[in-house]
A and B are shown apart, each in its own frame.
Chain A
Amino acid sequence: MKRKRLLAWGAMYGVLGILAIMWTYPIVVAIQKSFAVGGVGNYTAVLNHDQFNYWSAIGNSFLMAGGSTVVIVVISCLGGYAFSRMRFPGRVFLYRALLACLAVPVASVVTPLFFSINSLGLRDSYFGVIIPLVAFNVMTMLLLTKNHFDGIPTELVEAATIDGARPFGILWRIFLPLSGPLLANVSVLSFVYSWNEYLLPNLLISSPEKYPVTQAIALLQFERMSQEQIGQLYAGLILMTIPSVIVYLFSQRYLQSGLTAGAVKS
Chain B
Amino acid sequence: MRSFGGRWAPYLYVAPIVIIAGVLLYFSIGFAVYASLTDWNGLTRMEFIGLANYAELFQDRTFYIALGNTVKFMIATVTLQAVLGLLIAVIAKERIPGSNFFKALFFAPIAMAPAIIATVFKYMLEANYGALNETLRALGLLGANETIQWLGADLGVWSISAINVFSWMGFSMMVYFAGLMAIPDELYEAAELDGAGWWRRLFSITIPSLRGTTSVLITLGIVGSLKTFDSVWLTTQGGPGVSTHFLSTFLYQARLDREAGYSSAIGIVILVVAFALAVVQMRLSNREN
CB-CB contacts of B241-256 with A at 8 A, as 1s and 0s?
Answer: 0000001110110010
A260 touches B16 (CB 8 A): no
Q: Is B190 close to A, CB under 8 A?
A: no
Q: Which residues 98-133 of B sit at the A interface, judged by CB distance below 8 A? A: 98-99, 102, 104-117, 119-121, 123-124, 129, 131-132
The CA of A178 and the CA of B27, in the complex, are separated in Å by 36
A107 touches B96 (CB 8 A): no
- Provide the residues of chain B in CB contact with A113, threshold 8 Å: 24, 28
User: Which of B48-56, B146-154, B201-209, B264-272 lies at the interface with chain A?
Assistant: B264-272
Interface residues of chain A, those whose CB is within 8 Å of chain B, are: 8-9, 12-13, 15-16, 19-20, 23-26, 29-30, 32-33, 71, 74-76, 78-79, 81-83, 86-88, 91, 94, 97-98, 100-116, 131-132, 134-136, 138-139, 142, 161, 166-168, 192, 195-196, 198-199, 213-215, 217, 221, 227, 230, 233-234, 237, 240-241, 244-245, 247-248, 252, 255-256, 259-260, 263-264, 266
A76 touches B91 (CB 8 A): no
Q: Which residues 216-243 of B sit at the A interface, judged by CB distance below 8 A? A: 216-217, 220, 223, 226-227, 229-230, 234
B: number of interface residues (CB 8 Å) = 92
- Provide the residues of chain B in CB contact with A98, threshold 8 Å: 17-18, 21-22
Q: Is B87 close to A, CB under 8 A?
A: yes
- Provide the residues of chain B in CB contact with A115, threshold 8 Å: 31, 42
Closest chain A residue to B124 by CB distance? Answer: A29
- Name the 4 nearest CB pairs between A and B, nearest first: A82-B13, A107-B248, A248-B111, A112-B31
B123 touches A15 (CB 8 A): no
Chain B interface mostly: helix
Closest chain A residue to B179 by CB distance? Answer: A264
Contact pick for A101, options B1, B22, B87, B132, CB 8 Å: B22
- Provide the residues of chain B in CB contact with A263, threshold 8 Å: 171, 175, 213, 216-217, 220
Closest chain A residue to B122 by CB distance? Answer: A221
CB-CB under 8 A for A12 and B91, given A86-B9, A111-B263, A237-B116: yes
- Provide the residues of chain A in CB contact with B121, threshold 8 Å: 26
A108 touches B271 (CB 8 A): yes
The CA of A195 and the CA of B110, in the complex, are separated in Å by 12
A196 touches B227 (CB 8 A): no
A97 touches B119 (CB 8 A): no
The CA of A233 and the CA of B1, in the complex, are separated in Å by 60
B113 touches A13 (CB 8 A): no
What are 26 A-B contacts defined by CB distance under 8 Å? A25-B135, A94-B14, A101-B25, A103-B277, A104-B274, A105-B274, A108-B251, A108-B270, A109-B267, A110-B267, A111-B263, A112-B264, A116-B27, A116-B31, A167-B9, A196-B112, A214-B113, A215-B115, A221-B119, A234-B123, A237-B116, A240-B116, A241-B112, A241-B113, A255-B111, A264-B175
Q: Is B88 close to A, CB under 8 A?
A: yes
- Provide the residues of chain A in CB contact with B174, threshold 8 Å: 256, 259-260
The CA of A87 and the CA of B7, in the complex, are separated in Å by 10
- Provide the residues of chain B in CB contact with A214, threshold 8 Å: 113, 115-116, 230
- Provide the residues of chain A in CB contact with B195, threshold 8 Å: none
The CA of A110 and the CA of B110, in the complex, are separated in Å by 24
B94 touches A12 (CB 8 A): yes
Contact pick for A107, options B42, B216, B251, B275, CB 8 Å: B251
B114 touches A30 (CB 8 A): no
Interface residues of chain B, those whose CB is within 8 Å of chain A, are: 1, 3-4, 7, 9-11, 13-14, 16-18, 20-22, 24-29, 31-32, 35, 42, 84, 87-88, 91, 94, 96, 98-99, 102, 104-117, 119-121, 123-124, 129, 131-132, 135, 166, 171, 174-175, 178-179, 198, 213, 216-217, 220, 223, 226-227, 229-230, 234, 247-249, 251-252, 255, 260, 263-264, 266-268, 270-271, 274-275, 277-278
A30 touches B120 (CB 8 A): yes
A135 touches B248 (CB 8 A): no
A108 touches B124 (CB 8 A): no
The CA of A20 and the CA of B227, in the complex, are separated in Å by 27
- Provide the residues of chain A in CB contact with B102, threshold 8 Å: 16, 20
**B39 → chain A closest CB, angstroms:** 13
A198 touches B267 (CB 8 A): no
- Provide the residues of chain B in CB contact with A161, threshold 8 Å: 1
CB-CB under 8 A for A26 and B120, given A112-B264, A135-B25: yes
